[in-house]
Amino acid sequence: MVKNLYAVWIRIDETLPWIELKGKYQTRSEAKRAADKFLSSIKIRVVTMPEKRRRIKALATVKHARN
């Protein structure tokens, strides 16, 4: 018997691609709990940028520590 495994995908903005989080989960509720835990641990930093600077490409990185 083949069991379904669930993966968690998140999308921050429509301009960015979907991101698959590490891990496969046996149940849908287990996957939801993992996503909630991950999203509650995200740190956000807002920085100022001078107007006269050239536009730069943004690079987003997410580091998630697994327990």
Q: What is the pLDDT of residues 10-56, one digit of tens each?
A: 998 899 899 999 999 999 999 999 999 988 998 889 888 777 766 66
Predicted confidence at residue 44, as pLDDT, reads 87
Mean pLDDT of 1-9: 84
Maximum alpha-carbon separation in the chain: 62
Q: For residue 2, name the pLDDT band (cuts at 50, 70, 90).
A: low
